[in-house]
Amino acid sequence: MRVPLKWLLEYVPGDWTAEFIAERLTLAGIEVGAIERIGQTWNDVCVGYVTDVQPHPNADRLRLVTVDCGTSSSTVVCGAPNVATGQRVAFARVGALLIDGHSGKPASLKPAKIRGVLSEGMVCSEKELGLSEDHTSTIELPQDAPIGLPLADYMGEVVLELELTPNRPDCLSIIGVAREVAALLGGALRLPEVSLEGQGESVKDMVTVSIEDGDDCHRYCATVVKGIKLGPSPSWMQERLKASGMRPISNVVDITNYVMLEYGQPLHAFDYDTLSGRKIVVRRAREGEVFRTLDDVERRLGPGVLVIADGERPVGIAGIMGGSNTEVSESTSTILLEAANFDRAVIRRGCATLGLRTEASLRFDKGLHPDFAYTAVQRATMLLAEICGGVPAREVYDAYPACAEDRVVTLPAGEVKRLSGMDIPGDEVNRVLESLGFVQTRGDDFETCFLVPYWRGDVVGPADLVEDVIRVMGYDHIPVGTPRFTTATVMVPADLWEFKSRLRQLMAGAGFQELLTYSLSSRENLVLLSPDASLAHEPLTIANPMSREMECLRTSLRASVLDVVARNRRREHGPVRVFELSRVYFPRGKDLPVEAETLCAVLSGYSEEVSWHHGERPMDFYDAKGALEYLLAKCGVSAGFIPGDDVGLFPGRRADVIVDGEKLAVVGQIHPAVARSFEVDAHTLLFEIDVAKLMACMSGIVEYAPLSRFPYSERDLAIVVDNDVPYARVAEIIGGFDLVSRASLFDVYRGEQIPPGKKSFAIRLVFQASDRTLTDAEINKVQQKLLSKLESSVGATLRS
Amino acid sequence: MADELDVLESAALAELRELQTLSQLEAWRVRYLGKKSTLTSALRALSALPPEQRRTAGAHSNAVKASLQSEYEARKQELSLSTIGESIGGACLDVTLPGRALPIGRLHPITQVIQEICSVFARMGFQVIDGPEVEWDYYNFEALNIPQDHPARDMFATLWLDSSEDRNARLLRTHTSPMQIRIMEEHRPPLRFVVPGRTYRYEATDATHDWMFHQVEGLAVDSDITLRDLKETLFEFCRSIFGRDTGVRFRCDYFPFVEPGGEIAIECFQCRGGGCRLCGSTGWLEILGTGMVHPDVLARCGIDPSVYSGFAFGMGVERITILRYGVDDIRHFYSGDFRFLRQF
Ligand SMILES: [Zn+2]
């Protein structure tokens, strides 16, 4: 909403600056987003009087125009065809800052020789003054414009640009804003006098209005005005409309727009003579009914849309836009003026159906009070009589099926203090509310009742009154001390949130960069995660997706993490260790989906930055496994790794991670087909953890074992087993020997020195007892027992 | 005799300071502290003295010996350290060569800011919890005083999973405020919670808008909570996050689920209130929306609005992060560009 300051101050006179008004309005909830100053840069531009126009000696299209500026007179070369002797124009002297016609940027006006004639100044179009894009003709000022007056003083304007919230449709009007300013700054309201005395016929003899459903249309006010002379509206009205961002069209249309801006009530003028049957019917459109709106678009309507019809056809879409079939034109002499009140939901749905929003619908869909219609139709009719020479019929046609009831809100004593924490005397509360138009209807020691002014549809309860009191006094007056922390609170376990934070910290500590990526994904990307293009889970889809890339709620983090890896790979090389801990979404029919917190880590490239310390080693399965083991160890979880079956991973280079028989993670190399699809290195590894399951596995309490006071002994053991014996089996057997306190695998060997089909494990064993020093003999015995156990269980032999 | 020892001591110490190698030091030790040294002989000769003299002379000799001994140890320490380089090959290390690198992991800037925000509120007694991102129309709109066809729905361009006409439609939450309802449905006051999480809007992306972003929601409900408590808590928050001297502004604003409603802005740190492009020439940067929980919302959750009151707030994490670090394009956050992420 654009509010020209001069217009505003006409209704609430005062000498406040624009900044001051803007600040107070903003603090009170009517946000002024910007202050525009039209004419701020118009130095050296004044009202000029054209005393002479002569042809240019050397050019047919140019003329020499002599302009009187009060104190001086200049002759300039001018190309605009409309300049004529006797006009008042906007004249720029040399040095004026004007918008350059070609570059569109401000530039200082310089003297110029045009086709041999020196031109020192310019007769300006709207474009040069930054008023519009029009530069085909120069501005013609009204005949009463004082010659020599700086143009900024004559037609400069300050405009407040309001960014309104949907609860305050009353401020979509100059009068509404004036009411706020009056209350906030203590000004007196001076509103236009509205009273209509028609002549001639009664409006009831000229039209009948029927409303099919009072829920759709709460009120329909109409007047008929005869003897209209169509023409341009007066310049003061045009200036105000332009400053408010509307294009002047004709006196009749301008008046309807002017009153809409003034009161916030949309109006529409029909050419009365084109209405069939002298009838107005407010009804739903019929299925498939076709209608051409004023913007010259043919629209197919349906019962979702409310229309204004005459005796036979629609003539307007209620509250949104009129029709070309009844448009006011040069030949119009009688008009029917409508100011109606439509249900906001009906208008909203109509706009959605038609994909059309207008200044009118903008005001209706927030909810307007029916009282506006009656006032606005009278005000507009008065202006039609005054400006267009029209003769209004007697009375206003007022179809008002169910009169809106007054609303009274009760404010309990102490409520202002209870909600605001501020001690405000009752008298002060009453004074503030009255300044906003509330009327006290009753009051005692316990409560006060206030009649809500009709334009404040947003006020329904005592909390609304408290807000009004505090915002007028100013939220900035609420004192600020140290916050009170006296409140005890319900304690809810925040385990998952805290656990997620901890996992993120651990991953970052292990050298992984955290990523956050979009929750939505394309179906293709999810499909590409399995080499056979199958989807393990059908994802949920968005009903109104913004694009196909953002169509599905992802069921895996892999696709987006791999995308990030690929994109970065195009920019730089070097080791990649990334992870994301976010949700994936598994559908549950029509219910809300399961939102599973998942950690997906990807490793790719060489293990370290290229460095003088060592050669380059591509990361492999064991890099990923090592990071995962680190994470599990830090969480106090001991897990088993078994060959896995994740289809997105490389067969034979993938593992499932099992705790208590349940799979909580997978780890492995990306399947080559997947790596190709996502354009990442073939040697790309990942692990993926079900975070909630991991949290559930955490044992919580550490099992403490007393420290041994006795020395330890180390022995290295090399055994040979079949190739298919997993190390985990060997480790498990060793783990069964209490006196072996630690075992580290330090070599795995296959090759010439051992038989084919075999491999050797070299293991460093640490022997230690908690209650004595172990003798060599004892250790030998244990080791012998271990060997025979390994032999009987996994066919191990001592490597010779 | 005593003079002799003093001369000996100062000569020995002077000599000691000149020594450069451990072998020279060893020779010195043999000469002055060894079995055949003057000092040892002097000590040995003590037994020949009468008892009176023996005591004073003995004390003196021992003091000299102790002094030489301790200077010797100190010098030995110095020489050992300075000759370490020689012992490992004679050359000094180029200490400017890069060390063996450990991989450096980092948290995403949004995660860092969320954790910071949550910890400020945790200090003020708020608990952190999560909530669902896929929501019912009821929690996202209806229960927050935004029924079907309410004009405030315009404030939330929504990504729907079902037809928006359907009252049981599912959607991607447009704000974290649905958690206000879920918390109040499940728990009775006193309540103090913050809820961080992802939120979604149907929105074209550009440098300042993205369709996915994070919010932190807050809720406090008790029998005596006022607008003043709201202001004090959130001013404290702003000053904790943006600096103690930051100017903070509290103004009236509208959200359907609070009344009175408000907005908190901080003084623009680029122009210090004078007006610039960052703040849209207003001098203020909006940080969060807030207000007293609407009585209808309390009542809907079974909390008596005539007994209890509370405040709620919600803030955009990306916006705070962008302002804090001067990030020029919101789309960097989810692009995963390492050049961007490495800076935080
Ligand atoms: Zn600024």
User: Per residue in A432-463, pLDDT tens?
Assistant: 999 999 999 998 989 999 999 999 999 999 99
Say if residue B260 is preceded by a cis peptide, omega within 30 of 0: yes
Question: Is B333 near chain A, with CB under 8 Å?
Answer: yes
Residues 588 to 627 of A: which have CB under 8 A from any B CB? 590, 592-593, 595, 608-609, 611-613
Mean pLDDT score, A300-308 = 94
pLDDT of residue B88: 55
CB contact under 8 A, B337 and A568: yes
CB contact under 8 A, A471 and B260: yes
Chain B hits for A609, Cβ within 8 Å: 101
What is the count of residue pairs from A and B with beta carbons less than 8 Å apart?
A: 257
Question: Is B326 near chain A, with CB under 8 Å?
Answer: no
Residues 163 to 182 of A: which have CB under 8 A from any B CB? 165-169
B297: closest CA of chain A, how far (Å)? 12
Interface with chain B: mutation pick from A19, A26, A368, highest number of B CBs within 10 Å: A26
Question: Is B226 near chain A, with CB under 8 Å?
Answer: yes
H helices then E strands: how many in chain A?
21, 41
- Among the residue ranges A380-384, A609-613, A780-784, B177-181, the one predicted with the least confidence is A609-613
b or e along A279-290 (b: 16 or more beta carbons within 10 Å of the residue's beta carbon)? ebbbbbbeeebe
Average pLDDT score, chain B: 90
CB contact under 8 A, B101 and A345: no
Mean pLDDT score, A241-267 = 95
| DSSP state for residue A359 in the 8-state scheme | H
Residue B183 CB neighbours (<10 A)? 23
| DSSP state for residue B78 in the 8-state scheme | H
Question: Is B31 near chain A, with CB under 8 Å?
Answer: no
For B234, nearest residue in chain A (alpha carbons): A483
User: Per residue in A665-707, pLDDT tens?
Assistant: 999 999 999 999 999 999 999 999 999 999 998 876 778 888 9
- Max distance between CA atoms of chain B, in angstroms, equals 119
Task: Among A366, A492, A504, select the one facing B187 at the smallest CB separation.
Answer: A492
- Residues 6 or more apart whose Cβ sits within 8 Å of residue A440: A430, A433, A434, A448, A449, A450, A451
Total residue count of chain B as it appears in this document:
344
User: Per residue in A747-756, pLDDT tens?
Assistant: 999 998 899 9
Tell whether the model's pLDDT for residue A521 goes beyond 90: yes
CA of A670 to the centre of ligand 1 (A): 49
pLDDT of residue B176: 97
CA of B271 to the centre of ligand 1 (A): 4
> DSSP letters of B31-57?
HHHSTTSHHHHHHHHGGGS-HHHHHHH
Residue A751 Ramachandran class (φ > 0 left, ψ -120 to 50 alpha, else beta): left
Tell whether the model's pLDDT for residue B90 goes beyond 60: no
pLDDT band at A195 (very low <50, low <70, confident <90, very high): confident
For A29, nearest residue in chain B (alpha carbons): B252
pLDDT of residue A399: 95
Report the DSSP beta bridge partners of residue A656. A642, A666
For A568, nearest residue in chain B (alpha carbons): B337
- In three state form, how does the secondary structure of A480-545 look? CCCCCCCCCCCCCCCHHHHHHHHHHHHHHHCCCEECCCCCEECHHHHHCCCCCCCCCCCCCECCCC
pLDDT of residue A673: 94
Residue A339 sits at the vertex; the CA angle it makes with A334 and A342, to the nearest 5 degrees, is 140
CB contact under 8 A, A514 and B108: yes
Chain A hits for B212, Cβ within 8 Å: 518-520
Question: Is B160 near chain A, with CB under 8 Å?
Answer: yes
> DSSP letters of B218-272?
EEEEETT--HHHHHHHHHHHHHHHH-TT--EEEEE---TTEEEEEEEEEE-TTTT
Location of structure tokens 């802005």: B265
Tell whether the model's pLDDT for residue B1 goes beyond 60: no
CB contact under 8 A, A483 and B236: yes
Question: Is B238 near chain A, with CB under 8 Å?
Answer: no
Residue (of A21, A29, A30) closest to A467 by Cα position: A29
pLDDT of residue A115: 86
Question: Is A419 near chain B, with CB under 8 Å?
Answer: yes
Q: Are B57 and B76 in contact (CB under 8 A)?
A: no
For B291, nearest residue in chain A (alpha carbons): A467
Chain A hits for B335, Cβ within 8 Å: 564, 567
pLDDT of residue A713: 94
B126: closest CA of chain A, how far (Å)? 8
User: Per residue in B180-213, pLDDT tens?
Assistant: 999 999 999 999 999 999 999 999 999 889 999 9
CB contact under 8 A, A543 and B106: no
Cα separation of A84 and A52, whole Å? 8
Strand pairing report for B134-136 and A758-767: unpaired
pLDDT of residue B85: 54
Residue (of B34, B52, A734, A207) closest to B43 by Cα position: B34
For B201, nearest residue in chain A (alpha carbons): A546
Please give the structure tokens belonging to residue A215. Answer: 């829920």
Cα separation of A75 and A72, whole Å? 10
pLDDT band at B282 (very low <50, low <70, confident <90, very high): confident
pLDDT band at A487 (very low <50, low <70, confident <90, very high): low
Chain B hits for A497, Cβ within 8 Å: 128-130
For B169, nearest residue in chain A (alpha carbons): A590
Mean pLDDT score, A316-344 = 94
Task: Among A29, A501, A585, select the one facing B251 at the smallest CB separation.
Answer: A29
Tell whether the model's pLDDT for residue A205 goes beyond 80: yes
Cα separation of A295 and A298, whole Å? 9
Mean pLDDT score, A407-419 = 95
Mean pLDDT score, B240-253 = 94
pLDDT of residue A547: 93
CA of B196 to the centre of ligand 1 (A): 28
* A18-27 helix and A174-185 helix, angle to the nearest 10 degrees: 90
Q: Are A448 and A430 in contact (CB under 8 A)?
A: yes
* Residue A783 three-state SS: helix
CB contact under 8 A, A422 and B227: yes
pLDDT band at A29 (very low <50, low <70, confident <90, very high): very high
Task: Among B164, B231, B256, select the one facing A480 at the smallest CB separation.
Answer: B231
Chain B hits for A592, Cβ within 8 Å: 132, 134-136, 170
Please give the structure tokens belonging to residue A284. Answer: 């739903």
Cα separation of A436 and B12, whole Å? 100
Interface with chain B: mutation pick from A35, A37, A167, A573, highest number of B CBs within 10 Å: A167
Tell which wins on pLDDT, A154 or A449.
A449
Tell whether the model's pLDDT for residue A493 goes beyond 80: no
Question: Whole-structure pTM over 0.80, yes or no?
Answer: yes
pLDDT of residue A137: 87
Tell which wins on pLDDT, A484 or A11.
A11
Please give the structure tokens belonging to residue B129. Answer: 């919890």
Interface with chain B: mutation pick from A343, A477, A516, A594, highest number of B CBs within 10 Å: A516
Chain A hits for B336, Cβ within 8 Å: 515, 517, 563-564, 567-568, 578
Q: What phi and psi, each to the nearest 5 degrees, are found at residue B312?
A: -135, 155
CB contact under 8 A, A543 and B130: no
Residues 257 to 276 of B: which have CB under 8 A from any A CB? 259-262
pLDDT band at B274 (very low <50, low <70, confident <90, very high): confident
B125: closest CA of chain A, how far (Å)? 7
CB contact under 8 A, B151 and A519: no
CA of B285 to the centre of ligand 1 (A): 8
Chain B hits for A467, Cβ within 8 Å: 252, 259-261
Strand pairing report for A552-553 and A640-643: unpaired
Tell whether the model's pLDDT for residue A596 goes beyond 70: yes
Tell whether the model's pLDDT for residue B42 goes beyond 80: no
CB contact under 8 A, B111 and A608: no
Residue (of B289, B81, B211) closest to A519 by Cα position: B211
Residues 331 to 350 of A: which have CB under 8 A from any B CB? 344-345, 348-349
User: Per residue in A39-54, pLDDT tens?
Assistant: 888 888 999 999 999 9
Instruction: Tell me which architecture the domain covering B109-341 has in CATH.
Output: 2-Layer Sandwich (3.30)
- Strands, DSSP E only, in A318-446? 321-322, 335-342, 391-392, 397-399, 408-412, 439-443
* A727-735 helix and A776-794 helix, angle to the nearest 10 degrees: 140
Please give the structure tokens belonging to residue A60. Answer: 């047919």
pLDDT of residue B83: 66
Please give the structure tokens belonging to residue B331. Answer: 């789309």
CA of A128 to the centre of ligand 1 (A): 30
Question: Is A507 near chain B, with CB under 8 Å?
Answer: yes
Average pLDDT score, chain A: 92
Cα separation of B156 and B173, whole Å? 10
